[in-house]
Amino acid sequence: ETFSATQYNTSDATSFAHTSARSRWPIIITQAIDDVHRSLHDTKDEATINEGKQIVADLAKLKYELQHDRELTPIPDDGERDVAAYNQELAERGPPKWHSVPWLYAECYLYRRISSSFKQTQHWRSYDVFARQKTATFKSSRPAVIELAARYRDIVTELEQKKTVKGAKTQEQLEAAENVLFTEMCEICLWGNATDLSLLTNLSYTDIQKLQGSEARKNSEKNILVNDLDRAFKVITAAQREGKKERRVDIVLDNAGFELFVDLILAGYLLASGLATNVVFHPKSIPWFVSDVLPADFGALLSALADPQSFYSALSDDEKHAGKESVPLSETENANLLFLFRNWSTMHAEGQLLLRPNDFWTAGGSYWRLPNTNPELYEDLKESELVIFKGDLNYRKLTADVSVKFQWRISAAWPATTPFTDAIGPLGPGSGLRVLALRTCKADVVVGLPEGEDEKVRATEGGGGDSGARKWAWSGKWAVVQFSDGKA
């Protein structure tokens, strides 16, 4: 069989790339334009207004080029060092046109291009064009936030007591209990990803709330098609048993708001239980895929929790318009949220919880490039007991978003049965990295499934059937949890 590996492409009508480029991205750019307009409304300073107008014009031009299938143009020099790599790759690739370009590169380019419009100004350089949306969605996840805050407080309080009542249970019983909790925390963390904002162009707020509660989580367990959590648990408990002094877990973050909230739940649990001694968070450096975490989002989340009553009672203009009235938190709810604030800010202040940005996470290529392009980051990640990659885009980058193009067919995916360890290439066996992907599926690429599973899910309602499209993998309803131990 002769085939050459290629990536999902916006020209492929059966891929989510196709509708992404034609319907989702124009909406995202329009929302960005609206956001700048709004901010302009509240601005008096003339220089800021002029720059804002220029940004709007830039974004409108970008939308035009996208919708009219023009060539992708070089990213203007905005003073950042990653521009050269983006533009070099652009030149090597053609330059391509919007409707027939590898999906992964084009979507990264899109966000990098948007950010360059801001970076070229003086007053908008660090403006986050998606911040409003992030805050609004986090607010709308209030029921789930409150439910989890209570659960977290119980768990952490119990863990603290357990430390003082030693010998109540055997080591084995303790570990079994720990495994159950670890699984619960990881699954909370996993499903928190189902609700990112770049998909919000097709999901309503009510849909989102449905995806977040504990009921939803229980029902969703059957939707985790592969679940390697036990293997990840073994790795970190082994480190603990060996008496390793520093046991670090890394989380390559995905979305802000509710997802970051659940990442903190997991991180806090790992630290409180002693499964880890340090947790390192890896945020993005520019506004990315609408809802991804920037360092400022971390601060914003903690500030919201520092005074939850004000956070929830302050109404946005939209809410006022819709005639909404704020419902105050109960005393217990308020106290539980404050507990989270104290707990997490202490961990942060004591250096157990770190934020470590790197522009590798917003480069245009897959993570297969890590050892070559960012050897320092690679070495750093090797120090970790476990590197958790959150969400869909991270998974696409781990697997290089590869589709295998057979000569006699238009295109077919990485066979869904490809072992995860193969699909992550240089980050797989021999890499020295322990990789755990927590991914709800929102794009075509899926690997590591048992024989026949893809076909089975395709045959379910909305699964794509005989259309040639793997539609089931687009909506965040299904998930995979996959592990690679990095040993040769």
Pattern 143-182, binding to ligand F6P, x per CB under 6 A? ----------------------------------------
Crossing angle of helices 258-273 and 142-164, rounded to 10°: 0
Question: In the numeric block, which tokens belong to residue 171?
Answer: 């080591």
d(CA 114, CA 287): 9
Near ligand F6P by CB under 6 A: residue from 128, 228, 250, 392:
392
Near Mg ion by CB under 5 A: residue from 228, 250, 263, 292:
292
Near ligand F6P by CB under 6 A: residue from 11, 14, 16, 280:
16
Residue 138 touching Mg ion (CB under 5 A): no
| Cβ neighbours of residue 50 closer than 8 Å, sequence gap 6 or more | none
Per-residue H/E/C for 298-325: HHHHHHHHHCHHHHHHCCCHHHHHCCCC
Nearer to Mg ion, 200 or 416 (CB): 200
Residue 361 touching ligand F6P (CB under 6 A): no
The CA-CA-CA angle for residues 371, 376, 378, to 5°, reads 45
| Cβ neighbours of residue 131 closer than 8 Å, sequence gap 6 or more | 296, 297, 300
> Which does residue 14 bind out of ligand F6P, Mg ion, none, counting CB within 5 to 8 angstroms by kind?
none
> Which does residue 195 bind out of Mg ion, ligand F6P, none, counting CB within 5 to 8 angstroms by kind?
none
Residues 448-477 that bind Mg ion (CB under 5 A): none
Could you tell me the smallest distance in angstroms from the CB atom of residue 393 to ligand F6P? Answer: 3
Residue 289 touching Mg ion (CB under 5 A): yes
The residue range among 167-175, 190-198, 329-337, 349-357 that interacts with ligand F6P, by the rule CB under 6 A, is 190-198
Could you tell me the smallest distance in angstroms from the CB atom of residue 194 to ligand F6P? Answer: 8
Residue 255 touching Mg ion (CB under 5 A): yes
Count interface residues toward Mg ion (CB under 5 A): 5
Residue the block writes with tokens 């404050």: 338
Could you tell me the smallest distance in angstroms from the CB atom of residue 23 to ligand F6P? Answer: 11
Residues 410-469 that bind ligand F6P (CB under 6 A): 442-443
d(CA 182, CA 233): 7
d(CA 369, CA 377): 11
Which ranges of 242-390 would DSSP assign to H, the alpha helix? 258-273, 295-306, 308-313, 317-321, 331-349, 370-373, 375-382
Residue 289 touching ligand F6P (CB under 6 A): yes
d(CA 470, CA 123): 44
DSSP 250: E
Residue 199 touching ligand F6P (CB under 6 A): yes
Pattern 248-267, binding to ligand F6P, x per CB under 6 A? ------xx------------
The residue type of 256 is: A
Pattern 304-333, binding to ligand F6P, x per CB under 6 A? ------------------------------
d(CA 417, CA 152): 37
Residue the block writes with tokens 């793997």: 470
> Which does residue 399 bind out of Mg ion, ligand F6P, none, counting CB within 5 to 8 angstroms by kind?
none
Which ranges of 141-228 would DSSP assign to H, the alpha helix? 142-164, 171-191, 205-212, 214-220
C-beta separation of 411 from 468 below 8 A: no
Near ligand F6P by CB under 6 A: residue from 75, 393, 437, 449:
393
The residue range among 142-150, 299-307, 368-376, 388-396 that interacts with ligand F6P, by the rule CB under 6 A, is 388-396
Residue 389 touching ligand F6P (CB under 6 A): no
Residue 297 touching Mg ion (CB under 5 A): no
Chain centre to alpha carbon of residue 310:
28
SS3 content of the chain, % helix, strand, coil (to 5): 55, 10, 35
Nearer to Mg ion, 136 or 159 (CB): 136
Nearer to Mg ion, 282 or 458 (CB): 282
The residue range among 55-63, 195-203, 262-270, 450-458 that interacts with ligand F6P, by the rule CB under 6 A, is 195-203
Binding site for ligand F6P (CB under 6 A): 16, 20, 107, 193, 196, 198-199, 254-255, 289, 391-393, 396, 442-443
Binding site for Mg ion (CB under 5 A): 196, 254-255, 289, 292
